[in-house]
Structure 1
């Protein structure tokens, strides 16, 4: 089990937790739109650190992006396994060809 698998499992286990004791439960209780907004905020912060060329801060922000992506997916009942299966389906396909097929 990878760190992302463990994180996704932890997020899922917090779905019904008390929002007063779990940040994940608090985010999920606010609904999918708020989870998406938080993901967007974290993505922007990662972009800023990439532009600044601050490797340590970018690493930290990238971890936040992955966490908030998984929370957003959970809020819409999309499993990490489904996302990984989609990546596997695309494996070996040129990004240009994949985009053209959409």
Structure 2
């Protein structure tokens, strides 16, 4: 099992965002604005869904990696820290998913 974490990826993305858009895909996405990064996130989400439906494990792994990367780029583009998302997820674990969803729909 890899010791690589989403926090590691978040840090790398933040570093690469400072590079020239001609040298870094991350910098290019950030320079294009949050809308472009969000569009790319949506495309990757669809590709991950298709891989899951097809049952292609290797493709699902690859597309999931793309999806997580692009999500972190979108978060950076909107100045949202991964720790804030993780805090939200942690707060939701205090009760079952069904109870949590029911509370949100009120």
TM norm. shorter chain > 0.5 = yes
Give the Å deviation of 1:11.
0.9
Alignment correspondent of 2:46: 44
What RMSD, in angstroms, separates the aligned Cα atoms of the two structures?
A: 1.2
Give the Å deviation of 1:2.
4.4
In structure 2, C-alpha distance between the alignment counterparts of 1:94 and 1:2, rounded to whole Å: 29
Alignment correspondent of 1:62: 64
Give per-residue Cα distances to partners, 1:31-83, cap 9 Å, x unaligned. 11111100000000000011110001101100110000100111100001111
Unaligned runs of 5+ in 2: none
| 1:18-37 equivalent positions in 2, closer than 5 A | 18-37=20-39
Give the Å deviation of 1:100.
1.9
Return the TM-score normalized by structure 2: 0.90
Runs of 4+ in structure 1 off by over 6 angstroms are none
Give per-residue Cα distances to partners, 1:73-102, cap 9 Å, x unaligned. 111000011111111111132112212222
Alignment correspondent of 2:11: 9
In structure 1, C-alpha distance between the alignment counterparts of 2:84 and 2:101, rounded to whole Å: 19
In structure 2, C-alpha distance between the alignment counterparts of 1:88 and 1:43, rounded to whole Å: 23
